[in-house]
Structure 1
Amino acid sequence: MTIRAEFQPAVDEFISTLTDFSTGSYLKDEDKEFWEQPFDPAVLPQLRGILETLLDSLDTLPDDPSAELLVGVVTKTVGELESFNSAQHDAVLEPEEKAELNQIIRDASAATGAEDDALAELPELD
């Protein structure tokens, strides 16, 4: 199984949760009176694309990649996620979402077979 196939459900669930949050679909009609949309859900395909590109990039790495290779891929993705969120006025990825993404990134990186010392060097969203 590829890393993409293994972690696509986690990405799908993450995006689905953000879609529900951004549209208020989880609220009853009477609860929407004072509700304000936190961000435009139209930006979520871009976020999905960043995450799927990460998974595809991890799939191209050799088994047990060096820390340098793995950190390079993850650093690029973390930068893209930070730029994406900044462009959205930091409204999409808040601490809870960042923690969830850090876990997905770490788990997907571990699926490459990387050693613990390589995983320890991974950058995180903060």
Structure 2
Amino acid sequence: MQINSPWEYLRIDAPILSGNLGGTTTVQGLSDGIEEDISIGWKIFDLQGLILRLRENISGLTGERIWGFKFTFYPNGKFNVEFNYNKPEGYEETDETISGDQINTSLNQIHTKDG
């Protein structure tokens, strides 16, 4: 991870889906008002595990599900944590999986009806 100086903040913003994070961004805010992406490479998987455990902890303590996590760190050592309790619009969570055979059978039935 390469941090450029001078920076105003570092931020991680992550939507929390069923078993993973979706579209996680890691940025640094520069003193000129520009944000630059920070690549954290394989550390994204460590981050994902931590945030998912945090979600489970919060759910166990409060009964509330968090759908988003934002962590902002400042050069003076202060930080801010925000949780989003709103389910993403259009997101449907399901534990059901569909096998390739089920998909093919379904598609073949459509093809048979049309042809």
* TM-score between both structures, scaled by the size of structure 2: 0.29
The structure that has the greater radius of gyration is 2
Structure with more of its chain in helix, by fraction: 1
* TM-score between both structures, scaled by the size of structure 1: 0.27
Highest RCO, 1 vs 2 (Cα 8 Å, sep ≥ 6): 1
